[in-house]
Amino acid sequence: MSDQHQYAIDLFRARVKKERARQLAKWGPQTHTPLEWLAILGEEYGEACQGVVNTWTQRGDISKALEELVEVAAVCEAAFADIAGAMMPPDAALAEEKK
């Protein structure tokens, strides 16, 4: 893996962490049904698609598309935490972590 690739991964993780902090500050911990999470994720995914298409067709700045990909990941994290926290027994969650 190149240094540039590793830098991009580190940047992505830092941005996802920052986005989660922003979301938590704005809305607090969110609780939704799995189907509601899919709807929220679908909305963010659609924005990411739009950002990529706009960049591709208009030769625009990729930064908006990258921002939307970060938001997709942040919503995935929030959904996973909410769904796993609600539906997995605590012991199962810990066992998963040790794999």
Residues at the interface with Mg ion (CB under 5 A): 44, 47, 68, 71
Closer to Mg ion by CB, 40 or 83: give it.
40
Q: Tell me, what DSSP letter sits at residue 29?
A: S
Cα–Cα nearest to 40, from 67, 69, 79: 79
Q: How far is the CB of 44 from Mg ion (least distance, A)?
A: 5
CA distance 65 to 59: 12
Q: How far is the CB of 47 from Mg ion (least distance, A)?
A: 4
String of b and e for 12-22 (b: at least 16 CB within 10 Å)? eeebbeebbee
Q: How far is the CB of 71 from Mg ion (least distance, A)?
A: 4
Q: How far is the CB of 38 from Mg ion (least distance, A)?
A: 15
Closer to Mg ion by CB, 44 or 82: give it.
44
Closer to Mg ion by CB, 39 or 92: give it.
39
CA distance 49 to 7: 24
Closer to Mg ion by CB, 41 or 83: give it.
41
